[in-house]
């Protein structure tokens, strides 16, 4: 997905991962972005190394739970159709589970994200 322009006015692309199946009539889902780890100040809940996701992770990265978003799955599909974003192969199961576990572990995850994720886990039981 593209993000707003940075200070230099450049559009940047970031890998976002869909972590739950669409929920309810509105088909809400949670997406979390990955970012390159550049500082010790970044959330270190889930660190990814080169090779953890061959097609995208080339430098040590972290899951930026602070920027997790609740999105309508229909909106994501529309972005795909407009070529505003593109789809990549799924993460390996162990990496995906690590990313998901971090949603509840990270002190930076917004409350609404944690609440929707916990509801998803409850419905899976």
Provide the whole-model pTM: 0.82
Residue-wise over 18-57: b if at least 16 C-beta within 10 A, else e?
Answer: ebbebbeeeebbbbbbbbebeeeebbebbebeeebbeebb
pLDDT score of 25: 77
- The pLDDT tens digits for 77-114 are 888 888 777 888 888 999 999 999 999 999 999 999 99
Q: Each residue of 37-73: pLDDT tens digit?
A: 988 889 999 999 999 987 788 899 999 999 999 988 8
Report d(CA 70, CA 72) in Å as an integer: 7
What's the pLDDT tens digit per position in 64-80? 999 999 988 888 888 88
| Total Cβ atoms within 10 A of residue 80 | 12
């Amino acid at each position: 997905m593209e993000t707003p322009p940075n200070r230099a006015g450049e559009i940047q692309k970031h890998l976002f991962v869909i972590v739950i199946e669409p929920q309810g009539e509105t088909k809400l889902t949670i997406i979390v972005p990955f970012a390159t780890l550049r500082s010790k100040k970044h959330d270190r809940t889930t660190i990814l190394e080169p090779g953890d996701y061959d097609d995208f992770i080339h430098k040590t990265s972290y899951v930026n739970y602070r920027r997790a978003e609740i999105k309508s799955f229909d909106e994501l599909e529309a972005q795909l159709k407009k070529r505003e974003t593109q789809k990549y192969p799924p993460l390996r199961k162990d990496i995906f589970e690590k990313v998901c576990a971090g949603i509840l572990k990270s002190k930076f995850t917004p409350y609404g994200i944690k609440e929707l994720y916990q509801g998803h886990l409850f419905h899976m039981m």
